[in-house]
């Protein structure tokens, strides 16, 4: 019996030790360095007011720790959508760091049970603070006043978390997202501002370039104007000189023709014929003569006219042989020369200056080619002195009866024969050359009717062609 008692005593002691150890173990708790807590007795349902820090703690059996962080904890509000002052939806991310006030940990546990419940209340309160703060800013302020918005939100959060005994240390606003159209408009506006700044920076440079080009253009215009003025002055001076030369030439030519007309006692028509002959003779190009239609008179056998044949030196020998010689030489050499008008002797090959004129035909001759009349003391050219008796008697024989020859003749039209009239008196070779050139150019076959009379060796103003 004694042995059994010992065993029982020993078993009781062991059980007591086990129980004591178990109770000791159940009464002890450990907190980490980043934790604080208050104990709660689950048996007596009592909450301790003492805040226990990190380390090993001995409490009444059946307790548990209600643990809170002893350091600041981050809370993130991701993609919060709020309406700003303009009614535009803004999305943003907010991160804050908070800590439960250890002095009021007992009240916090009484209200929110534990840290998880406490954190849920703070999260909901924080979102409300974000919405309230966002409503005070317009859309542009989120871009231009980002720092001020963050400060205002931190103050709003502190005021909101204060009734919950939360200590708020810092807050960050990240990734503010405005509507796409607004972002595009803002980007365009910012780009426009940058372009304006660039333009303002480039403006002085461009103005300088424009002023340089302007001054350059002014100088160039001045140079062009001066050059044009110089050229115009040169042209005007040349034109004045040429005009003066032309006036001088025509004045000299006019005076020369006037002197020629006076000395040779020519009529205006005779002077014009003389000038036309010179123009034709000095021309390099072909000369086309305007041919007048020949007159064709029809007479019957009953008609008869009195034809008074008055042969005069003016008709037979009008025009200067010396002039035709020079005209022919110029035509053969194909040289166009302005022949100076020189008052020379009308005799062939004589170049002695004129000193007198023939009293009958009024041709100009030198003293070597004038013969004085022994009866009337007048001077005559070689032709007139030879034929003076046949042409016209001098004053001494003027009282003699004029000899008139009455000739009766008949005319009839001749087919395919035409009279070609020239504008002056030419010799046979010159007339033939003119006709040959005109008819061959126009591909016309012709034949010049040769004359067989006393006048065939003298210059004439017409030809008959078939």
Q: Check: CB of residue 382 under 8 Å from CB of residue 347.
A: yes
Report pLDDT digits (tens) over 420-450: 888 888 888 888 888 888 888 888 888 888 8
**Residue 228: its pLDDT value, please?**
93
Do the beta carbons of residue 393 and residue 400 sit within 8 Å? Answer: yes
Of 26-35, 317-326, 345-354, 446-455, the least confident: 317-326
pLDDT recorded at residue 394:
47
pLDDT digits (tens, 9 = 90+) for 207-222: 999 999 999 999 999 9
Per-residue pLDDT, 215: 92
Tracing tokens 């939100």 back to the chain, one arrives at 153
pLDDT at 148 over 80: yes
Mean pLDDT of 3-12: 75
How many other CB atoms are there within 10 angstroms of residue 371's CB atom?
Answer: 16
> Three-class SS of residue 1?
coil
Residue 218's pLDDT is 92
pLDDT average, residue stretch 84-88:
86
Dist CA 385 CA 383 (whole Å): 5
Alpha-carbon torsion, ordered 186, 189, 193, 198, to 10 deg = 110
Judge if pTM exceeds 0.85: no
**DSSP per residue over 94-163, as a string?**
EEEEEEE-GGGHHHHHHHHSSHHHHHHHHHHHHHHHHHHHHTTS-TTHHHH-HHHHHHHHHHHHHHHHGG
Domains of the chain, start order? 73-177 (3.30.479.30), 268-465 (no CATH)
Surface-to-core class of residue 450, CB atoms within 10 Å of its CB (0-12 exposed, 13-18 middle, 19+ buried): exposed
């Amino acid at each position: 019996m004694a042995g059994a008692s010992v065993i029982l005593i020993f078993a009781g002691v062991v059980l007591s030790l086990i129980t004591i150890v178990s109770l000791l173990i159940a009464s002890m708790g450990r907190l980490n360095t980043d934790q604080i807590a208050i104990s709660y007795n689950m048996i007596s349902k009592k909450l301790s007011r003492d805040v226990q820090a990190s380390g090993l703690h001995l409490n009444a059996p059946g307790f548990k720790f209600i643990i809170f962080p002893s350091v600041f904890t981050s809370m993130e509000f991701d993609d919060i959508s709020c309406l700003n002052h303009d009614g535009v939806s803004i999305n943003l991310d907010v991160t804050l760091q908070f800590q439960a006030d250890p002095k009021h940990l007992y009240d916090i546990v009484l209200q929110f049970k534990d840290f998880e419940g406490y954190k849920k209340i703070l999260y909901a309160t924080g979102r409300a603070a974000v919405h309230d703060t966002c409503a005070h800013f317009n859309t542009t302020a989120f871009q231009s006043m980002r720092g001020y918005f963050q400060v205002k939100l931190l103050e709003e959060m502190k005021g909101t978390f204060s009734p919950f005994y939360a200590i708020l240390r810092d807050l960050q606003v990240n990734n503010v997202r405005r509507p796409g159209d607004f972002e595009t408009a803002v980007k365009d506006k910012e780009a426009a501002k940058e372009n304006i700044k660039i333009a303002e920076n480039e403006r002085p440079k461009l103005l300088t370039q424009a002023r340089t080009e302007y001054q350059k253009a002014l100088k160039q215009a001045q140079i062009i104007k001066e050059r044009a003025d110089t050229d115009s002055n040169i042209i005007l001076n040349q034109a004045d000189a040429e005009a003066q030369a032309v006036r001088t030439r025509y004045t000299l030519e006019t005076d020369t023709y006037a002197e020629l007309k006076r000395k040779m006692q020519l009529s205006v028509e005779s002077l014009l014929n003389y000038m036309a002959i010179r123009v034709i003779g000095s021309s390099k190009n072909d000369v086309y003569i305007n041919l007048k239609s020949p007159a064709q008179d029809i007479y019957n056998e009953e008609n008869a006219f009195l034809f008074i044949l008055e042969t005069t030196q003016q008709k037979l020998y009008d025009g200067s042989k010396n002039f035709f010689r020079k005209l022919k030489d110029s035509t053969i050499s194909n040289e166009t020369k302005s022949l100076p008008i020189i008052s020379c002797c009308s005799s062939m090959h004589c170049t002695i200056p004129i000193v007198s004129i023939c009293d009958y035909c009024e041709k100009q001759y030198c003293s070597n080619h004038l013969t004085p009349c022994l009866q009337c003391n007048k001077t005559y050219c070689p032709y007139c002195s030879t034929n003076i008796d046949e042409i016209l008697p001098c004053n001494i024989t003027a009282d003699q009866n004029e000899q008139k020859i009455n000739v009766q003749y008949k005319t009839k039209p001749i087919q395919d024969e035409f009279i070609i009239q020239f504008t002056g008196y030419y010799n046979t070779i010159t007339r033939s050359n003119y006709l040959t050139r005109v008819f061959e150019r126009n591909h016309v076959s012709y034949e010049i009717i040769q004359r067989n009379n006393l006048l065939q060796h003298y210059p004439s103003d017409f030809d008959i062609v078939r």
